[in-house]
Amino acid sequence: MASTPSRAPSVSGLAVTTTSPPDTISELKSSSNSIAAGIGEAIHALFSASSHSQTTTPIMIDCGERVMALGRKRMGAMNGRNAFLYLKSKFGLLSTSAPLYLSASFTGSPDKFVEVDMDAWEELVPYIEKLRIVG
């Protein structure tokens, strides 16, 4: 009985480059090597799980003497303009003529507030800890 030599998977088809981790994970996931693709899928799942656990906390909104907690998922589903209108409606500020803007504190600097670029709202929401409506 003739035996065929077993073929172990090889990583010779993988090119190691100095790309960022998400790029490397994408390369692994799309690899023709099934072991590398599986490792890429597992790493992607771990990154996804860790990022979801960080962003499940509510965003605390300060307006004058009131503080309200709003869901991060809801806030992230809106563009900046709609999110600001939603916040103004929650605090009864839709008919105010005073100019208003949002300032936020971000992960890593909870006591430092900066003005929010509403055009970048969707990118910023995962990192916002607190928002202030400033008039």
Q: Concatenated DSSP letters for the chain?
A: ---PPP-----TTPPP----HHHHHHHHHT-SSHHHHHHHHHHHHHHHHHHHHHT-SPEEEEETTEEEEE-HHHHHTS-HHHHHHHHHHHTT-TT--S--EEEEEETTEEEEEEE--GGGHHHHGGGEEEEEEE-
pLDDT score of 65: 94
What percent of the chain has a predicted confidence (pLDDT) above 90?
53
pTM of the model: 0.58
pLDDT score of 121: 95
- Mean pLDDT per 10-residue interval, the chain, length 135 residues: 56 51 78 85 76 72 95 93 96 94 92 95 94 94
pLDDT score of 54: 53
- What are the structural domains of the chain? 21-54 (no CATH), 59-134 (3.10.20.90)
pLDDT score of 29: 82
pLDDT score of 27: 83
pLDDT score of 8: 55
